[in-house]
C-alpha cells in the first residue's frame, strides 16, 4: 500500500483500513451504513483518502435508498431482463417519461412513488 500524508504526524505514513459503522442524519432520518476508515499506523488518527471517501459515499447512498424504499439500479436491470425490454420501452410501458428509466440508471434518484410502482414488477 502506498503511504499517504497524515495531517497529525505531518508526514507520509503507512495506514490500515478498518470497517467502520457510520451513522449519518439526513432528512431527519438516521442512515446507518458499513463504511471503511483509514487509520494512521503511528498516531492512530483517521486519514482521509479519496477512494475510501468514495466507497463510503456509495455505501451511504445504498443505505439511504433502501431506507426510503427506493429501487436500485440492479433491480431495474432485472426487470428489463425479465421482460426482455429496453430502458425506453420500460419507461413507456410504465407510463413514465420516455427517458425516466435512462435517468435512473444514470444515477438519478427515483421518487418513492415510482420506486413502489417499479417494485411491483
DSSP 3-state helix, strand, coil percentages of the chain (rounded to 5)?
40, 25, 30
Long-range contacts of residues 80-89, Cβ cutoff 8 Å, at least 24 apart: 82/121, 83/121
Q: Give the DSSP H/E element, type plus range, for residue 20.
A: strand 15-26
Q: Assign 80 to helix, strand or coil.
A: helix
By CB under 5 A, residue 49 contacts Zn ion: no
Contact map string, positions 22 to 41, toward Zn ion, x by CB under 5 A: ------------------x-
By CB under 5 A, residue 9 contacts Zn ion: yes
User: Footprint of Zn ion on residues 52-111 (CB under 5 A)?
Assistant: none
By CB under 5 A, residue 7 contacts Zn ion: no
By CB under 5 A, residue 8 contacts Zn ion: yes
Site residues, Zn ion (CB under 5 A)? 6, 8-9, 40, 42-43
Amino acid at each position: 500500500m502506498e503511504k499517504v500524508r497524515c495531517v497529525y504526524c505531518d508526514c507520509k505514513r503507512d495506514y490500515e483500513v478498518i470497517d467502520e459503522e457510520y451513522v449519518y442524519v439526513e432528512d431527519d432520518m438516521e442512515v446507518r451504513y458499513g463504511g471503511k476508515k483509514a487509520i494512521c499506523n503511528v498516531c492512530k488518527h483517521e486519514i482521509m483518502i479519496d477512494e475510501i471517501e468514495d466507497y463510503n459515499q456509495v455505501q451511504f447512498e445504498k443505505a439511504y435508498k433502501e431506507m426510503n424504499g427506493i429501487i436500485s439500479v440492479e433491480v431495474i436491470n432485472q426487470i428489463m431482463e425479465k421482460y426482455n425490454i429496453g430502458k425506453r420501452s420500460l419507461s413507456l410501458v410504465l407510463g413514465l417519461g420516455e427517458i425516466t428509466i435512462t435517468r435512473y440508471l444514470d444515477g438519478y434518484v427515483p421518487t418513492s412513488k415510482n420506486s413502489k410502482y417499479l417494485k411491483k414488477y
